[in-house]
Every structure is written in structure tokens, then in C-alpha cells.
Amino acid sequence: MASEKPVLFRTVSTRSGHKLGIMTLNVPAAMNAVDLTMVNLIDKQLQRWDENPQLVAVLMRGAGDKAFSAGGDIRKLYDSMLAEGQQRYRYADDFFRGEYGKNYRVHLFNKPLIGWGNGFVMGGGLGLFIGANHRVGTETLKLAWPEIRIGLFPDVAATWYLSHLPYPAGHWMALSGIHMNAVDCRDLRLTQYVLAHQQQDELIRRLKHTSWSSNNAENHHQVRDLLHALEDDCPAEIPDSELSAAAVDLQALFADDDLLQIAARFAAYQGDNAWIRQGIRHFSAGCPATAHVIMAQLQRGRQMSLKEAVQWELALAWQAVRHPDFAEGIRAMVVDKDFAPRWQHAHVQDVPPDWTAALTRAPWKREEHPLAGL
């Protein structure tokens, strides 16, 4: 019996005679974790749809009810980092090069691309979702860059997105790896709409009955109107903003952007906000070196274009797979599941500047960068 395809693509006809594309990440048992094969399939299909004049819009979603995608297939990355001889790092290097370059091209898709953010949206899946030009969060959305917990760094364009959020939201998300709900994501403009997951079928029905045209700008306008109309009819109970309830405490915790001071205030926190307490626990258990890389990302990212941020992140990923913390984080959280990673440095104050410099240094000359042609 043939195994299910990891990504399903289909087109449906609309009342106006145009086509609507539906792309489904189809690995629900793994919470739709994304691997290199899936990234390549998605890239090729989006190129075909972009070139098809009859195809007017695309819905991108995850199979099942638990996740759009909970991340990348990091077990394969772990195996690559531990491989012998010429195979060592090969898959990891190929994965990050393919993922970052092809996720960036999702941002360039000109037709309406609706990302359906239900459940977990993290890691490699977030890299796809954030590229959609119409992003929906449902009542169960849990969007996060949780890489500090595995010794990587917030990637898939986090350098650009998090550095452009109002302070201290980006720093809090990156250092804590905390889940963000649909209301907070919309307020931060990480998404644009809040809908109920049960409205997906109604969305498809309305898309099929839309009077599409060959004018792309008009089609985008129609999608915006349709999604806003569905928001007005949203039947689900939408969660309250957690960011608003935590605003006063977060302003105090991030009184400046000095990492050592932030860490000290985290350690001294006596407040009763459970969401903040959870984020501080994530930070305390997370990789100290990653915390320093995050501070560099959020400082430098403000001066970068999205393309430059993606190119720099490939250098960070190249270094991460060759430094021990990333493999150790995957071992502890995914392989052995003892949830007790033994980081190279016990605390943020123990990480020497040259270690951070090595983690953020590009190994190539500018003209030799694997993504120079983006």
C-alpha cells in the first residue's frame, strides 16, 4: 500500500471559471513537521500555480486539527550532525539552504495566498505560514519561535519579523519561545485575521463562489473583504490577549535590552502572571548561547532587508549545526526526551563574546553565499 503523500495539492473550480489551489501539509501524525522533500514539493507547486493564469488564489493549511505545522523534522537534522565522513552535515546544510531559499520565495508569491494558522505554527512550518500574504489565526493558534529550547536560534525570517515588532514583544517571544494566541498575533501584525477553525469549509465555499478576475489587486481586495466578513461571523470564543495582560510586567522586565540585566530580572520575578512565569521557565532551561545570538539578531535585523536577514540566518544555521548545543538540545528534547540538556555554558553570563561571534560569523565570502541569487 502506497504511503500518503506528505503534501497534497488540488485545484477546485470557481463560479467565475477560475481555479483555486488548496495545499495541505499532510503528516498529521508528526504534527505536519516539514522536511526537505516537502519544501521542494511546495516550491515547485507554487511556481506552477504562479504561472497558471487561471489559478487566482491558494489556501495553505495543515491536515488534522492540532497543527498547521509544529516545525521541521529535527530528528533528521540530528542524524545529519552525528553522521560519519562526508555525510556529516550534508542533510542539515541541504535542508537549511533549501528551506530558507524556498520559504523566502513564498513571500514573493503575488496571488492571494491564505495561510490557515490553526493549532501549532512553529519552526519550519512558521517559515511557510509567515510568507503567506493573508494570514489567519484560529481560536487554537499557538504561534512561536521556540528555538532557544533546542539550542538553535529563531529562524525562518525571525531576524526580520521579530526585530520589527514593538519592543519588547520580539525580545520576549525569542527569549522565551512562548506561544502567542490569535488575538496577540493579529495585534502584532504577524497575522491579519482571527477566525474559527470550523469556518474553513465556509471559507472554501465562499472562495469558490467569488467572482474572480484577471486583476490581481482586485483579487487581493476580494480576499480581504471575504476574510473580514467571516471575522464578523466568527462563532468561536476567541481567547483574550495575553500580551496586554502582561504589558506592565514585560515593560519592567525589559527596562533595557541588556541581556544580563534581563536575565537577572527574570530570575527575580515575583509576579503572578502564569504566562510570564512559563516564558521565564523556558528561558531558564533554554540555551544560554542562543540567548546571545538572539540579541544580535534583534539588533542587526532592524537594519536588514528581509532578503538580507534570510541570507544571514543561513550563516547562523551553518554555524549552529557545527557547534554542540544544537545537537544536544535535540537529544534532550526529542531523542532521549530527558528534558535536561547539558549546554556548553550554564548561564548567559558564562558565554564568552568570541563564542557568540563564532556562532554569528558567515563562513563564506559574500559572492560565494549559497543564497546569493535570491
pLDDT tens for the chain, 374 residues long, are 345 899 999 999 999 999 999 999 999 999 999 998 999 999 999 999 999 999 999 999 999 999 999 988 899 999 999 999 999 999 999 999 999 999 999 999 999 999 999 999 999 899 999 999 999 999 999 999 999 999 999 999 999 999 999 999 999 999 999 999 999 999 999 999 999 999 999 999 999 999 999 999 999 999 999 999 999 999 888 999 999 999 999 999 999 999 999 999 999 999 999 999 999 999 999 999 999 999 999 999 999 999 999 999 999 999 999 999 999 999 999 999 999 999 999 999 999 999 999 999 999 998 999 999 99
- Amino acid 72 reads G
Question: Looking at the domain assignment, is residue 235 inside a domain?
Answer: yes
The reported pLDDT for the residue numbered 72 is 82
The reported pLDDT for the residue numbered 84 is 94
The reported pLDDT for the residue numbered 4 is 84
The reported pLDDT for the residue numbered 161 is 98
Q: Which of 269, 278, 218, 167 is nearest to 56 (CA)?
A: 218
Question: Looking at the domain assignment, is residue 268 inside a domain?
Answer: yes
Contacts by residues 262-265 (CB-CB < 8 Å, ≥ 24 positions apart) = 262/171, 262/175, 263/291, 263/347, 263/348, 263/349
The reported pLDDT for the residue numbered 73 is 83
The reported pLDDT for the residue numbered 2 is 45
Where residue 82 sits, what CATH number does that domain have? Answer: 3.90.226.10
Question: Looking at the domain assignment, is residue 68 inside a domain?
Answer: yes
Question: Looking at the domain assignment, is residue 2 inside a domain?
Answer: no
Grid coordinates in use for 50?
504562479
Q: Which domain holds residue 205?
A: 7-368
Question: Looking at the domain assignment, is residue 301 inside a domain?
Answer: yes
Dihedral, 96, 99, 103, 104 alpha carbons, nearest 10: 40
Structurally, the chain folds into a number of domains equal to: 1
- Amino acid 251 reads Q
What whole-number distance in Å separates Cα of residue 209 and Cα of residue 318?
47
Stated as kind and residue range, the H or E segment containing 116 is strand 113-117
Q: 3-state class of 352 per DSSP?
A: coil
The reported pLDDT for the residue numbered 3 is 58
Question: Looking at the domain assignment, is residue 373 inside a domain?
Answer: no
Question: Looking at the domain assignment, is residue 1 inside a domain?
Answer: no
The residues facing 10 across adjacent strands are: 22
CB of 214 closer than 8 Å to CB of 18: no
* Length in residues, the chain: 374
